[in-house]
A and B are shown apart, each in its own frame.
Chain A
Amino acid sequence: AQSVAQPEDQVNVAEGNPLTVKCTYSVSGNPYLFWYVQYPNRGLQFLLKYITGDNLVKGSYGFEAEFNKSQTSFHLKKPSALVSDSALYFCAVRVSGNTPLVFGKGTRLSVIA
């Protein structure tokens, strides 16, 4: 069975500092990994995905994520946080085939000015 863990419910970071939101996964097979962001009272917005190839993927709003197969991780990163990055972040995984997208429980990021 597929699963995703986001070990931190809340991450606080000062504006201008680098940020990391952690995600680990468990699948049988090759994973397709996604990050989404959710602002208050809105749906989820796609940030980036890892399918194959380069382990470092770049996405929207300056975010990037690194796929680490040995650690089964896909942590989201940004070199310099903005107050406007404050939101709820979801990691998700699926494997090729007839399986649904499985989401983590989300991590709330607060960037403090």
Chain B
Amino acid sequence: GAGVSQSPSNKVTEKGKDVELRCDPISGHTALYWYRQSLGQGLEFLIYFQGNSAPDKSGLPSDRFSAERTGGSVSTLTIQRTQQEDSAVYLCASSLGGFILNSNQPQHFGDGTRLSIL
């Protein structure tokens, strides 16, 4: 399909384990975003990639969280030493341009990865 693809759709892991979440953005979209959606908390911005620029990591909640975007396309969000409070739905979105260049461009979201930490 032509939409944003995220995998896995569900992930259950034990506290203390590392997890990797993957996002395939829409082809041609230079901007990629990660959000976290916790029950009753809305969407929390985590990190943003725009082209080859240094990512905006201002939303990452701790140094256990990191993300990469290889080749300007696929992105991986890694959570090390997971804690129970990391349980949430992690959403990826992409758009044409980024915050500066195309502030009015809508973001297209994947269906998310539901992460459960036991």
Contact = CB atoms under 8 A, between A and B. Distances in A.
Contacts of A97: 99-100, 103
Contact of B112 (A43, A102, A105): A43
Nearest to B104: A51
Nearest to B110: A43
B54 to A, nearest CB: 11
B56 interface: yes
Nearest to A9: B40
A88 B35 CA distance: 16
A105 B41 contact: yes
Interface in A46-72: 46, 49, 51
Interface in A4-19: none
Contacts of B103: 32, 94-97
A59 to B, nearest CB: 10
B42 A103 contact: yes
Nearest to A46: B106
Contact of A43 (B4, B100, B106): B4
Interface in A33-48: 34, 36, 41-46
A36 B111 CA distance: 13
Given A44-B91, A104-B42, A106-B42, A99 B99 contact: yes
Interface of B: 4, 6, 33, 35, 40-43, 45, 48, 56, 58-59, 91, 93, 99-100, 103-104, 106-112, 114
18 contacts: A32-B103, A36-B109, A41-B111, A41-B114, A42-B111, A43-B109, A44-B43, A90-B43, A94-B103, A98-B99, A98-B100, A99-B99, A100-B45, A100-B56, A100-B59, A101-B107, A102-B45, A103-B35
